[in-house]
Amino acid sequence: EDQVTQSPEALRLQEGESSSLNCSYTVSGLRGLFWYRQDPGKGPEFLFTLYSAGEEKEKERLKATLTKKESFLHITAPKPEDSATYLCAVQAGNYGQNFVFGPGTRLSVLP
């Protein structure tokens, strides 16, 4: 069965304190791994798509990397406005089903 886990469940950082979020997956036939940011009561906002092990994507203070078993979202020098829940999702299987979200990491960045 396809599974996606994320760690830590919650993370508190001081402004400027860099860290990484983890997304581990067990799927057959990965067809894409997606990172989203979600603010309370709002829809997920797309951040990155990764397809192949070794792939990396960057956007402002965020960098996403992918291995065969997990993905990391690195946050460099975070600011309070980076506070949100970060969700990863994987697409697997032979057809467009199995778009599975992980439980998310709630990030709080304190000024």
Partner 1 sequence: DTEVTQTPKHLVMGMTNKKSLKCEQHMGHRAMYWYKQKAKKPPELMFVYSYEKLSINESVPSRFSPECPNSSLLNLHLHALQPEDSALYLCASSQEVLAGGRQETQYFGPGTRLLVL
Size of the site for partner 1 (CB under 8 A): 24
100 in Cβ contact with 92 (< 8 Å):
yes
Show the tokens assigned to 111: 């000024």
Chosen residue from 62, 91, 105, 109 binding partner 1 by CB under 8 A: 91
If one counts every other C-beta atom within 10 angstroms of the C-beta of residue 39, the result is: 12
Nearer CB in complex with partner 1: 14/42: 42
Going by C-beta distance under 8 Å and a sequence separation of 6 or more, which residues neighbour residue 45? 36, 37, 38, 39
Q: In this chain, which of 31, 57, 61, 63 binds partner 1, going by CB under 8 A? A: 31
Contacts with partner 1, residue ranges (CB under 8 A) = 31-32, 34, 36, 41-46, 49, 51, 87, 89, 91, 94-97, 99, 101-104
